[in-house]
Structure 1
C-alpha cells in the first residue's frame, strides 16, 4: 500500500507486523510522544493516542488508567530504566513492541547532544522475552530484521546479516 513511501525499513516491517496481529480498527495507546510512525498507523484505520512525555519509569498512571485495547511501544523500552513497571501496570490485553537488539560489535547508543536520548538497555531477544514473561505477558508472535547501513567497513558488513530489530506481539496472561 505504501511501497517506497516509508522513510525507514523498520516502519514497513513494523506496520506489516502490526497489521498481521492486530486488525484495524483498534484503539492503541502508543508509548512515547506523537511521532511520524503514528500517521502510518492512523492511515491503516487505527485510533492512536500517545503518552505525553511523562517519565514512565516513575509515573505509570497513563497505562493503568487507559481504555486502549492495545499498547504499542516501538523503540521505547530501551530508554527506560524500569520497563518492567510499565509492562506490569498496563491495563491493555495486547502488546506490540519492538526494540533494537544488543549488537556484540557495537556499544550501546548514547547521544552526544541530547542527555535523554540514550539506551539504558539493549536487550538480547531472550532477555526481552523474559522481561515480558515476568511482567505478565505471553508472546504469541515474534520477528527480527537487519538494519544495513551504506558505509564501508567491518561493522557495516556485519549489519548486513546481524538482526538489529526485534518485534513481538503478546497478550496479557489471565490469572
Structure 2
C-alpha cells in the first residue's frame, strides 16, 4: 500500500493525532494564515478555514464569529502575547493545540527581520495544561515528540532525547461556555 510522505516528522505525527480526534465531517478553524499543514489537512479531506492574518491578540472576531466544530492551533500559541484571551474567545467545543516546548539548552526563537515572527512564550507542558484548564478546557489526550536534526554537536545530540513538541486535544468543560 502507498503511504504518503510529509516534509517532516512533526507534520506526520500532527496528522496522526488529528486523525485520532477529528472526523472528516468536522469543520475546522485553523488559527493562522493558510500554511503547509493546513494544505495537508485539506488534501486529507478536512474542511479547513484559516484566519486571515489579523493580529489575534488584538482582533478576535474571526474566532468569535466562526461556527467551526474544531479549532486547531499548530505552532501559533507561542506567538501570542495573550493566549489566555484567544482561548477564552473560542466558541468551538474541541481544540487541538501544538506548541514547541521550552528547551533548557536553546534560547527562545526570535526573528531579527520579522517583528511578528517571535516566540513570546515557549511553554513547558504543565504551563499549556494550566492555561487550558484555567480557560475551561479539559485535556483528553496529549503527546510529545523529539525533533532530531542531522547536524553535529551537543545540541543536535540533545534533540534526539529531549521532547521539542507538545500536542494536546481538549474539550470545553460543561460550565465554561461563553
**Fold match by TM threshold 0.5:** yes
> Structure 2: how far apart are the matches of 1:121 and 1:2?
39
Task: Report how many residues are paired.
Answer: 175
Q: Which residue of structure 2 aligns with residue 110 of structure 1?
A: 110
- Across the aligned residues of Structure 1 and Structure 2, the Cα RMSD in angstroms comes to 1.2
Matched, 1:146 2:146: yes
Partner of 1:74: 74
Task: Tell me the secondary structure at the aligned position of residue 142 of structure 1.
Answer: strand
Give the 3-state SS of the residue equivalent to 2:29 in structure 1: strand
Tell me the distance in 2 between the aligned counterparts of 1:96 and 1:173: 15
Corresponding residue for residue 15 of structure 2? 15
Can you list the C-alpha shifts for 1:108-136, whole angstroms capped at 9, x where unaligned? 00112222111000000000000001111
Q: CA deviation at 1:64?
A: 1.1
Query: Match of 2:164?
Result: 164
In the alignment, what sits opposite 1:86?
86
For structure 2, the 5+ residue unaligned runs are none
- How far apart are residue 170 of structure 1 and its match? 0.3
Paired position in structure 1 for 2:123: 123
Counterpart of 1:56? 56
Runs of 4 or more consecutive aligned structure 1 residues displaced over 4 Å after TM superposition: none
In the alignment, the residues of structure 1 paired with residue 2 and residue 129 of structure 2 have an alpha-carbon distance, to the nearest angstrom, of: 31
Q: TM-score, normalised by structure 2?
A: 0.95
51-60 vs 36-45, greater mean Cα deviation: 36-45
- Residue 79 (structure 1) shift: 0.3
Whether 1:155 and 2:146 are equivalent positions in the alignment is no
Write the distance in 1 (CA, Å) between the matches of 2:36 and 2:82.
25
SS of 1:19's equivalent in the other structure is: helix
For structure 1, list consecutive stretches of 5 or more residues without a partner in the other structure. none
Shift of 1:4: 5.6
- Summarize deviations over 1:57-86 as a string: whole Å, max 9, x none: 111111111100000000000000001111
